[in-house]
Structure 1
Amino acid sequence: MNRSVFFALVAATLFGASTPFAKLLAGDMPPVLLAGLLYLGSGIGLTFFRIVRDAGLKPSGLPPTQWPWLLGAVLFGGVLGPVALMFGLTSTSGSTASLLLNLEAVLTAVMAWLVFKENADRRIVLGMAAIVAGGIVLAWSNQSTTLSGWRGPALVALACLCWAIDNNLTRQVSASDAVFIAAFKGLIAGAVNTALALGLGAQMPQLLTLLATLLVGLL
């Protein structure tokens, strides 16, 4: 199996597995604070990994022309996307949310084709259509038909759109150190959302809940 494909599958598996755990935490703290702490967990964990790997902190090596792409990815993928997901999880089951998160891959591909003019393979198009159809059917069976019942899934779909934008922006800096990019996203986005939540009056959770949240974020 191609190494890039393998790591993509592992990343998707870990992300999907973390969603039900995030759902469990969603009832214990405000969505914005939860989003911030999850990303802080990722940023802190990956920063320590990078320090150990490189025997200290080294320059990122990211060219100045690529910083706008990375900052845009942080905004959409690290700040807006997680907040939308956490709000969505407050009124969506963990299983439904995990299914709907498949939309991220579809929206990423559509945006790559339409905006960045990448080639579209017929098999990929058919596969994406099957993912969308399956997700909608399975999510529909678990949701109320009222407008309020679809607010949660709509927010999860919005999060997927934000991450699709993030993926396409990150692709512009993909030649740089992947660990640095992920750690930078986690630290900046996590700090922004956590500070915003605390500024709005949220309270930090108890130590065990805090550690559990950071660990789930690292996944």
Structure 2
Amino acid sequence: MEIKPNINKGIAFAILAASLYAINAPFSKILLEFMPPTLMAGFLYVGAGIGITFIALIRKMKKHETKELKLTKSELPYTIAMIILDIAAPICLLFGLNATTAANASLLNNFEIVATAIIALMVFKEKISPRLWFGILFITLSCGILSFEDVSSLHFSYGSLFVLLSAICWGFENNCTRKISSKDPLQIVLLKGIFSGIGSLIIGLYMGERTSSLWSIFAVLWIGFIAYGLSIYFYVYAQRLLGAARTSAYYAVAPFIATILSLIILREVPDIAYYFALALMIIGAWLSSQDKPLIRKKTKLKVKK
């Protein structure tokens, strides 16, 4: 009997994860007026950890038996790398959001597809089809346009640079998470929330960042639970079935949802170059999402008679 990955289920998980993450950029942009970036990055992951802890407790109270595998010492290098990258990525993103529009940052987040795919190819030897390569090309061109405040004078946006750095960090992080995606997603998100969150908070406090707005802390914790906790939870499930590169391709719908939310909530009015970049990004994301599943070795399950 052959075990075949449920591709459609993986796609559904990836799109659900993307939809949940999409609220991050517009609402974080608003909350940055009340809380410094590094401190906010910490509370976002702490919110994810707290929320997932409640889910874990509910699962335990219901005595729901899970067949999920626990992390072992062999996954420790990937786990540590994942935590460190999860400290760096949101800090870079929030610093970028401070210096650029939420719509711009949302689209630039799609560079994560490029970073994830290239790293998956070069480091983890995942296969990339010609279609995905074309998708990567269009996304890179789009990011290039978005990264210049004035294309005619080639004036580079430092806000865009920070967003691109966050995408590269998440590209590495996606591949590290892929290596442990067969383990319990609840455990993975808890580790992210506790260690990445506390790590960012320590850095923020050391830098002298403070907030006097108590309500903003609870707001950030709630956003963290939805955009980081639940999103990562479903993202890990998607990676099991699709692999790192292809999951990121379907996850590409997140920036488009975030862009729409940014235009509605923040009333941001993009320039003509933005719409040209948007068209290229849509083509690139579509090509990436239409990529064929990565080649996997089929395993046979021996049934005892």
**TM above 0.5, one fold?**
yes
Aligned to 1:90: 98
The TM-score normalised by the length of structure 1 is: 0.89
The answer to whether residue 44 in structure 2 is matched with residue 33 in structure 1 is no
SS in 2 for 1:118: coil
Aligned residue among 174, 187, 206 for 1:180: 187
Q: Distance in 2 between matches of 1:101 and 1:30?
A: 21
Aligned to 1:67: 76
Highest Rg: 1 or 2? 2
**Change in 2 beyond 3 A, CA 1:61/1:20:** same
**Change in 2 beyond 3 A, CA 1:97/1:119:** same
Shift of 1:65: 0.7
Amino acid corresponding to residue 100 of structure 1 in structure 2: L
In terms of fraction of residues, the more helix-rich structure is: 1
SS in 2 for 1:27: coil
Provide the aligned C-alpha RMSD in A: 2.2
Shift of 1:200: 2.8
Residue by residue over 1:55-108, the C-alpha shift from the partner in whole angstroms, topping out at 9 and shown as x without a partner, is 38x9972111112211111101x2111111111111011000000000111110
Q: Which 4+ residue blocks in structure 1 deviate beyond 6 angstroms? A: none
Q: Distance in 2 between matches of 1:147 and 1:37?
A: 36
Q: Flag structure 1 segments of 5+ consecutive residues without an equivalent.
A: none
Q: Distance in 2 between matches of 1:46 and 1:75?
A: 20
Counterparts in 2 of 1:142-153, with a 5 A limit?
143-144=149-150, 150-153=157-160
Aligned residue among 5, 9, 12 for 1:6: 12
Counterparts in 2 of 1:68-147, with a 5 A limit?
68-76=77-85, 78-137=86-145, 139=146, 143-144=149-150
SS in 2 for 1:2: helix
The TM-score normalised by the length of structure 2 is: 0.65
8 Å CA contact retained: 1:101, 1:160: yes
Amino acid corresponding to residue 184 of structure 1 in structure 2: L
Shift of 1:203: 2.1
Aligned to 1:16: 22
Aligned to 2:297: none
Q: Distance in 2 between matches of 1:155 and 1:30?
A: 15
**Change in 2 beyond 3 A, CA 1:124/1:37:** same
Aligned to 1:52: 58
Q: Distance in 1 between matches of 2:193 and 2:77?
A: 17
8 Å CA contact retained: 2:34, 2:211: no
Q: Flag structure 2 segments of 5+ consecutive residues without an equivalent.
A: 1-6, 227-305
Amino acid corresponding to residue 27 of structure 2 in structure 1: F
SS in 2 for 1:166: helix
Aligned to 1:191: 198
